[in-house]
A and B are shown apart, each in its own frame.
Chain A
Amino acid sequence: MISFLVRRWNDFWFAPKSTINITWIRILLGLTSTVWGLALVPDFDSFFFTDGLFADPTYGTNRLGALQWLRDDWAAAAMLALLLGSAFLVTFGWLVRPAAPLLFYSIMSLQQDVTVLMNASDNLLRLWAFYYAVFAVLTPSRYLSLGPRGIRRDDGSRRWPVGPAWVLRLMQFQLTAIYVDTAIEKSSGSRWHNGTAASIALGLEEFERFYVPDFVRESVILGNIGTWVAIGLEITLPLLLWNRRTRLIGIVLGIGMHVVFDYAMRLGYFFPGMLIGYIAFMRPGDTRTLMGLPTALFRRRSGTKPVLSSA
């Protein structure tokens, strides 16, 4: 019995998997971190220099962000340079084992210096950087340096090597925890019960992004549907994603929900952050299956036999 459980445990965490997920998570993490750092540049002196808004930031106990000890402007600038440099290396798969921990530490250091400016998307980016940094330190560097199309064979074709990918499980648990936590916290909210939460959120000026017609925000019916679809998905996505049969549906619905959120509201880096979590749930062939879905549906409607690659 114990050996059975140990085997199941080892299969769950340590069974070799295609490295395509790990590679694309690394690339997306690097790119998102690069944009995150570059977006700070126009306001960097206001946020981090001694004559800026936070000349005397307060740190909570046990924080290890470097800028609490290095209060000079050059230190903040060096930290941003470290962030951008390590994000560049992580994106392109160079020196990832040292670069990934540096990326995490530079993100954490900058965030802890200006916590008042941070939202949940910043936390998410930092968490992905943390998980990936731990993985990078404990994983062969061969897997960390793959390009976006895998390894090139002698005959010119491409393949993805298989290898340990235990960090995907941590990322899957993290994504699940986000939905479970937010669903629990919203469960006591009257506006999520009466279906007005989506309309109210869309009406908040500080979140407005792209055009949303007035009738969408003012319609009680559309507001009810939007609210209950959102909370319904947040409750059901963990179940859909962990079930083999519904995993792909969960990925499509979840990413679709975050596309809508990101279109309508300024949520910072929440969309790329959640996308990283969804990549952890994907399997080789999923992208091809999804890309082929419209064609398959069209052929089905026109009576032609659908052709789909298997995931």
Chain B
Amino acid sequence: MDQEGYTDDPGWFVDTRLGRVLLSGLAAACVYFLVVWNLPDSEIRDQLRPPLAPTVRAAGIGQDWGVFAPNPVSTSYRVEADVTFDDGTVERYQFPDGDPWVGAYREFRWRKYESRVRRDENRRRWKPTAEWIRRQYADDVVVGVDLIRLSRPVPEPGTGEQTEWTEESFYELRFPAQGAASKDEASP
């Protein structure tokens, strides 16, 4: 009952002894999980995490809050592509961008993709990415896609330094005449 004399729903399940015992167990388990899962890298975490891991993964509640930790990366990265057409012309492809108001909620995924696909450990994504870029030019005959990694160090504050973007081609995919297999090549 609230201060004004209204009778409120006491709560199905919550107000029974069984309900409180079960919910208390659930609450305690969740708090235990939150503490163990977010422990700093340590021996105790290594001991306590593995038994929890299958349940946590199945429930989809895994988490990691190391945003800009231990340090923010000090280099900006982009991934673009040079698309070569059958007449020899080359066009620079850029992944979708968006305005800072509404578009930001869409395009941050592309920035996230660029930041991850550039890495060597994600090389298995390079060929699907090049093929996908080729499909963005469905009305043209594309004979090659070169994935380009761009990087620019963030200037140290107070130095007034201006830094430049540098480019590095890290994957090439060639598309021969129709019917033949494509040929890919990763730059060393």
- Residues of chain A touching chain B, judged by Cβ–Cβ distance below 8 Å, are 9-10, 13-14, 16, 35-36, 39-40, 42-43, 46-47, 51-56, 60-65, 104, 108, 111-112, 116-120, 123, 126-127, 130, 134, 138-140, 142-143, 159, 161-164, 166, 169-170, 173-174, 177-178, 180-182, 184-192, 196-197, 199-201, 203-207, 209-210, 217-220, 223, 266-269
Contact = CB atoms under 8 A, between A and B. Distances in A.
Contacts of B6: 159, 161
Interface string B6-17: 101111111100
Contacts of A184: 40
Given A64-B60, A159-B4, A266-B104, A55 B157 contact: no
Given A164-B11, A218-B160, A219-B158, A53 B38 contact: no
A51 B131 CA distance: 9
Nearest to B110: A43
A140 B12 contact: yes
Given A140-B12, A206-B115, A199 B157 contact: yes
Given A53-B113, A130-B59, A173 B73 contact: no
Contact of A63 (B58, B107, B109): B58
A204 B154 contact: yes
Contacts of A169: 27
Interface of B: 2, 4, 6, 8-15, 19-20, 23-24, 26-27, 30-31, 34-35, 37-38, 40, 53-54, 57-74, 76-78, 96, 100, 104-117, 122, 125, 128-129, 132, 135, 152, 154-158, 160
Contact of B106 (A43, A186, A223): A43
Contact of B11 (A36, A163, A178, A206): A163
Contact of A181 (B66, B73, B105, B156): B66
A51 B132 CA distance: 8
A178 to B, nearest CB: 5
Given A55-B128, A161-B9, A268 B30 contact: no
A218 B60 contact: no
A206 B76 contact: yes
Contacts of A189: 69-71
**Interface core residue of B19, B72, B106, B117 (most chain A CB under 10 Å):** B72
A99 to B, nearest CB: 17
A181 B63 CA distance: 10
Contacts, number: 211
Contacts of A269: 105
A65 B60 CA distance: 9
Contacts of A197: 68, 71-72
B155 A203 contact: yes
A138 B60 contact: no
B113 A206 contact: no
A120 B67 contact: yes
B121 to A, nearest CB: 11
Contact of B74 (A35, A170, A200, A205): A200
Given A188-B70, A210-B100, A218 B105 contact: no
Contact of B108 (A46, A127, A162, A266): A266
Given A206-B76, A266-B108, A268-B108, A62 B14 contact: no
Nearest to B76: A205
B137 to A, nearest CB: 14
Nearest to A65: B60
Contact of B38 (A134, A142, A180, A220): A180
A112 B71 contact: no
Given A164-B11, A164-B14, A174-B34, A138 B135 contact: no
**Interface core residue of A40, A181, A188 (most chain B CB under 10 Å):** A181
